[in-house]
Amino acid sequence: MASPETINLVTRLMATLNKDAATVMKNYPVHACTDITGFGLLGHLAEMVIDSNSGIQLMADQVPIMPEALEYARMGLFPVGAYKNREFRESMVRFSPAVDLLVQDILFDPQTSGGLLMAVGREKADELIEELKAKGIDQAAVIGEVAAEPAATILVF
Amino acid sequence: MQEIDARGLACPAPVLLAKEALEKENPDILKVTVDNAAAKQNVARFLTSRGFRVSDTRKGDDFEVSGEKEKAEALQDMICEMPAADAKKILVMIATDRVGYGDDELGLKLMTSFIKTLKEMGPDLWRLVFVNNGVKLTVKGSEVLEPLKELESNGNKILVCGTCLNHFNLLDQKLVGETTNMLDIVTAMQLADKVINI
């Protein structure tokens, strides 16, 4: 069903190890880091802020999403885990009405390949992204910001 | 009409079966029985994406998702039933005392400006409903009491959630609008042509 371009992209992303990213990370004051796996991006973000004094403001349109993923989402090709992840953590997440329902569900989708989610000071963020990209991690992006309020909550814009 | 029994199948199998059925038989009505809520939602999404009008019913522990192809005439009817442009009833539901997330001070300022500007909707503006933190805009100390009173005197009904006032201990502080309940709010939403959520 998938196009050859998508198959290539997915294969490449799945085969990319976190080793290079982890090596780059060591040169930066990264405060926290987790790998995004079965709980989905929002599930693992929630783990980072639960019971803490901080919250997250996530910019949905900055999250790298494979182009064909949206089409498959529209077709209802979600694993059961996506619904379970949502059920589990939706009390911690508030979506702006501007965020498409399909994108909301993709952000809870467990189909990820363990990419790293790093928290780093704002002043170092762009530099870190540049260096990651230079090492071939071309999907690296700033996707949000840590905020004091509302605590232990993820706001998705 | 075609029926598919997709019980006992894990996602995405039910969607793939439905897809195959559409491609092979191209039925006007397709019914898919599934045994879990995720498969129900996925099949509903799929049929919607293919231009079907979708409904679902619970059958014991299972769900039957039923899709009917939208006909061109049906779409035409919907267009004809749209209310005339000059007879709109707009209900504005205000569930917060500030607009948006981010900076609270800015949010409060924006809300004041929003309420003051609402009158520009003219006769289309019908009702305002205040719930949760929104009720704080209707009590003593609110910066928008005057514009709200003006809207009320122009015939806009202002409904303020009683449960919410009670929760914040503000029942005796309300200075504008009438205390209301959820039934009134739901009925007003049903009667409105457009509901705007803030």
Give the tens place of pLDDT for each residue, B138-180.
Answer: 999 999 999 999 999 888 999 999 889 989 999 889 999 988 8
CA angle at residue B149 from B124 to B83, to 5 degrees? Answer: 10
Cβ distance A76 to B37 less than 8 Å, yes or no, reads no
| Non-local CB neighbours of B82 within 8 Å, separated by 6+ positions | none
Q: Name residue B57's amino acid.
A: T
The pLDDT of residue B85 is above 90: no
Question: Contact at 8 Å (CB) between A92 and A156?
Answer: no
How many percent of chain A have pLDDT more than 70? 100
CA separation for the pair A54, A147 (Å, rounded): 6
Give CATH superfamily name and number for A4-156: PurM-like C-terminal domain (3.90.650.10)
Instruction: Using a CB–CB cutoff of 8 Å, tell me whether A77 touches chain B.
Output: yes
The pLDDT of residue A114 is above 90: no
The pLDDT of residue A98 is above 90: no
Cβ atoms within 10 Å, residue A95 = 19
Q: Nearest chain A Cα to B101, which residue?
A: A155
How many percent of chain B have pLDDT more than 90? 65
Which residues, numbered 9 to 28 in chain B, qualify as contacts with chain A under a Cβ-Cβ cut-off of 8 Å?
Answer: 10-12, 15, 19
Instruction: Using a CB–CB cutoff of 8 Å, tell me whether B198 touches chain A.
Output: no
pLDDT of residue B86: 56
CA angle at residue A112 from B11 to B9, to 5 degrees? Answer: 10
What are the phi and psi torsion angles at B7 (to 5°)? -70, 145
Over chain B, what is the mean pLDDT?
88
Q: How far is B172 from chain A (nearest CA, A)?
A: 29
Q: Based on C-alpha coordinates, what's the Rg of chain B?
A: 23
- pLDDT category at A149 given cuts 50, 70, 90 is confident
A-B Cβ pairs (cutoff 8 Å, strict): 49
pTM, rounded to two decimals: 0.60
- Does the domain at B2-78 match CATH 3.30.110.40? Answer given as yes
Once rounded to an integer, what is the mean pLDDT over residues B126-140? 95
Give the tens place of pLDDT for each residue, A128-145.
Answer: 999 999 999 989 999 999
Over chain A, what is the mean pLDDT?
92
Instruction: Using a CB–CB cutoff of 8 Å, tell me whether A97 touches chain B.
Output: yes
Nearest to B49 among A74, A79, A97 (CB): A74
Q: Where in chain B does DSSP place strands (E)?
A: 2-5, 29-34, 52-59, 62-69, 90-94, 125-130, 157-161, 178-180, 194-197
Q: What is the ipTM of this complex?
A: 0.76
Domain positions in chain B:
2-78, 83-197
The pLDDT of residue B181 is above 90: no
Give the tens place of pLDDT for each residue, A11-38.
Answer: 888 888 899 999 999 999 999 999 999 9
| Non-local CB neighbours of B126 within 8 Å, separated by 6+ positions | B88, B89, B90, B91, B156, B157, B192
- Candidates B22, B41, B96, partner chain A, best to mutate (most A CBs within 10 A): B41
Instruction: Using a CB–CB cutoff of 8 Å, tell me whether A98 touches chain B.
Output: no
Give CATH superfamily name and number for B83-197: DsrEFH-like (3.40.1260.10)
Nearest to B43 among A73, A76, A96 (CB): A76
Set of chain A residues whose Cβ sits within 8 Å of the Cβ of B43 = 76
What are the phi and psi torsion angles at A106 (to 5°)? -65, -35
Residue-by-residue DSSP string for B66-96 = EEEEPPHHHHHHHHHHSPPTT---EEEEE--
Q: At B130, is the secondary structure helix, strand, or coil?
A: strand
Question: Contact at 8 Å (CB) between B119 and B151?
Answer: yes
Give the tens place of pLDDT for each residue, B60-69.
Answer: 999 999 999 9
- Packing angle, helices B37-49 and A67-74, rounded to 10: 100
What are the phi and psi torsion angles at A139 (to 5°)? -90, 0
